[in-house]
Amino acid sequence: MAEPTSTKPYLLRALYEWCVDNGCTPYVSVFVDSRTRVPMEYVREGEIVLNIGPLAASKLAIGNEFIECTARFSGVVRDVTIPISAVAAIYARENGQGMSFDIDPAPPAGVDQGRAENASSGGTDPESPDPVRPGGRPVLRRVK
């Protein structure tokens, strides 16, 4: 029997809709790895936080494997591709409500994506001093 589809993309789509329906701005916190296509000059400590609301991102598609859109960074339109497995959290900017997720590490080069996802054990260490690390839990900081 085949592995069931991950619930993560479904939860991301649902929380995105909830944010938009309630007049909130959906933000995603993303662990940046070799599969993530974002402007690297905005990445801090291996993480980028993006506004994916309808006014900030166009052509947004939250699929089962990737989030894809175009967005402006300092007035320049850039293509963004985020693996679902790299999304650490989605939340409403206005009230901080949302959900955080475990980060799945990028598969090693030459390894089949499906096998790498099934083989990852997700060894987590919540006491780690690193803000975000592959296979670990992200440490989200709330800034008001």
Name residues whose C-beta falls within 8 Å of residue 27's C-beta, 6 or more positions apart in sequence: 49, 50, 51, 52, 90, 91, 92, 93, 98
Token digits for 123? 């060894």
**Cα–Cα separations (whole angstroms), residue 51 to 21, 65, 90:** 16, 19, 10
- The answer, yes or no, to whether residue 143 has pLDDT greater than 90, is no
State in Å, rounded, how far the first CA of the chain is from the last one: 47
- How confident is the model over 33-40, as a mean pLDDT? 95
Question: So where are the chain's domains?
Answer: 8-103
Q: Check residue 138 and give its pLDDT.
A: 52
Query: Domain spanning 8-103: which CATH class is it, in words?
Result: mainly beta
Asked whether the predicted pLDDT for residue 107 surpasses 70, the reply is no
Rounded to the nearest integer, the mean pLDDT of the chain is 81
The pTM of the full predicted model, rounded to 2 decimals, is: 0.72
